[in-house]
A and B are shown apart, each in its own frame.
Chain A
Amino acid sequence: MLRGAGSWITIVTLAALATPGVAADYVAPRGPGGEHPDLNGIWQALNTANYDIERHLARHSMQLRDGPHGPLPAVDLLKLGAVGAVPPGLGVVTDGPLPYTPEGLAKKRENAANWLERDPEVKCYLPGVPRATYMPHPFQIQQSAAAILIMYQYANAVREVYMEDVGEAPVDSWMGQSVGRWEGDTLVVEVTGLNDQTWFDRAGNHHSDQLKVTERYTPVGPHHLRYEATIEDPVTFTRPWKMSMPLYRRMEPDARLLDFRCVEFVEELMYGEWRRQPLPRP
């Protein structure tokens, strides 16, 4: 055996096993229809992308104000104490920093400075794509031979991935219009028709209604998907950029989506001042 070849084979094998528990040549069981991998299941991201998609150290709060020795939590968030702190994250953006236009960056900073008032998550608005994927809630993929539906526990958001051309989206929507196709064992989803109301995270990262998201879902093991999303928005960014993260299968035997219809939890905030007998408000 040639030593060179042996070393080469060793290096390749080691690289393939660099992700623990995942074989490079994993072939997922086929789903309904027998042709494509089975994506059915309850999945969840396990990262802090919803706080901030870029790599970040821990922070005092989701909204800050200047203190005598550095930033401090904004007044409205003070009583949350350490519960209100932002955990650190390695980030999910693979080719950052985010390539904002100057106006885009200015708006991001304004968003962050006014997070409590502006983040649509505070009002339980639908999260849009890709944020729905990495909300701290599970989601369920329902796949049949002809159709794919993604149902999110968060705000019972839902979107169908049409597996055929359905033309231009007639109006913009919160969850956009998703059209999918298979490239080998990767489900590629193109999302257009997104409105400009959603954010990427709680750090104020935003987009325009020209956003186009191209997602790729690839099984990499019996209980893991690799999720990638390419973001194109020529109004907000100077070039496309990408994010990537594992998605983990929820392994509990009774795993299922529960109700998180947060609309009822935000009624006091949004409408409480108009009760016949309003409660004290900050």
Chain B
Amino acid sequence: MNTLSGSLAGGLLAAGLAGAAMAAEIPRTPEGRPDFSGTYNVATLTPLQRPEMFGDNLVLAPEEAARIAEEEAARLAEDLERDDPNRGAPPKGGDGSTGAAGNVGGYNAFWIERGDGAFQINGEFRTSIITDPANGRFPTMTAAAMKGLMERRRFYRENTGEAWWLEAGGVGPYDDPELRPLGERCLLGFGSTAGPPMLPVLYNNTKRIIQNPDTVVILVEMNHDARIVRMNAEHAPPDQRFWLGDSIGYWEGDTLVVDTTNFRNETAMYNATRDLHVVERFRYGEDGQLIYSFTVEDPNVWTEPWSGEYPWPRTDDRMFEYACHEGNYALGGILRGARILEQETMDAKPDAGSD
């Protein structure tokens, strides 16, 4: 029964070793620098933060990695199974699905591209992307930031199909479009996919690097965001703010360092502020993969910097246009829906909703 996981683990290790044999063959530009040009698919099942059960252990045992891959494959296969065409509607009151599925079940798994398994660096599986702090989780937040987070969490409740915020009083989560997440408004891709830092998300994880000596462009699929890294330049003056921050780049040996500041008040990296400062490093690892590492600092939010890394595997896949705003039927539906639910609540209970 364990032959599948055994052979998967063996196969993955073998692939890792084969990669290591190619370590000498770093692609280089005519100027002799490592050439990171290419297309990558960064989807991975390894989470950003380490599950607490692993403590300070960064390394994931191969058997566990194999089991993760198997279980994901099984989950996918189950979702793809044939259904009864005479099936009825799902349960009234919701189907109990959690997270983004929002008690209404989201959609089928074939739309999602979140990776086949945990990633490896130099043959070693990891329990998290975060490498520092030692427990692989965000550092302690400042008191002010924690307060802000708690306030924002007020906005997120189980979807009961009711305008619960009327009774709670104060600002409601759907009062204005400006209160909605940047991804829902189609201003930036969700989940810090472009960041920086650039993190894996549920789908559309392709990244494209086009490099020349003066400029490195990192094209991110959502929202057709081109991060323009000006090589050997100075940061913009403090009054110039950018949705993706202002990125300057320089070489440290064979590592491309990208330093980003000048963010706007709202950042892709959740919980961060305009004082966010991200330093990213791109290098080829011994196994021949592009290793992407980053350190995040925001003294308004975290009491210490935190760092992470994960590989960017090359892919033959193409990046496709992600025109978000142009097809954004959802935002209107969300706002109209909130107004209708408020009206229904107020019609039923005339006292509710008075500010």
Contact = CB atoms under 8 A, between A and B. Distances in A.
Interface of A: 31-34, 40, 123-126, 140, 142-149, 151, 156-158, 160, 166, 170-171, 173-175, 197, 256-259, 261, 263-264, 267, 270-272, 274-277
Contacts of A267: 177-178, 185
A180 B338 CA distance: 47
B337 to A, nearest CB: 9
Contact of A142 (B210, B236, B318): B210
A58 B321 CA distance: 37
Contacts of B320: 170-171, 173
A123 B177 CA distance: 15
Interface stretch (B101-109, B143-151, B252-260, B323-331): B323-331
B152 interface: no
Size category of the binding interface on chain B? 35 or more
A158 B226 contact: yes
B64 interface: no
Contacts of A158: 219, 224-226
Interface in B128-177: 172, 174-177
21 contacts: A32-B30, A32-B212, A125-B326, A142-B215, A143-B212, A148-B210, A149-B210, A149-B226, A156-B223, A158-B219, A158-B224, A171-B320, A175-B323, A256-B236, A261-B243, A264-B187, A271-B177, A274-B332, A274-B338, A275-B177, A276-B174
B313 to A, nearest CB: 19
B211 interface: yes
A34 B31 CA distance: 12
Contacts of B211: 144
A257 B243 contact: no
* Most B C-beta atoms less than 10 A away, residue of A125, A142, A197: A142
A271 B328 CA distance: 11
A146 B37 contact: yes
Contacts of A123: 325
A161 to B, nearest CB: 11
Given A257-B228, A276-B342, A160 B208 contact: yes
Contacts of B172: 276
A142 B213 CA distance: 11
* Most A C-beta atoms less than 10 A away, residue of B226, B318, B321, B332: B321
Interface in B226-258: 226, 228, 230, 236, 240, 242-243
B323 A160 contact: no
Given A32-B212, A142-B212, A256-B230, A263 B332 contact: no
A147 B210 contact: yes
Contacts of B242: 258-259
A197 B326 contact: yes
* Most B C-beta atoms less than 10 A away, residue of A124, A143, A270, A274: A274
B217 interface: yes
Nearest to A157: B224
A275 B332 contact: no
Given A156-B226, A174-B326, A149 B219 contact: yes
Nearest to A149: B210
B31 to A, nearest CB: 9
A89 B65 CA distance: 64
B219 A271 contact: no
A197 B99 CA distance: 35
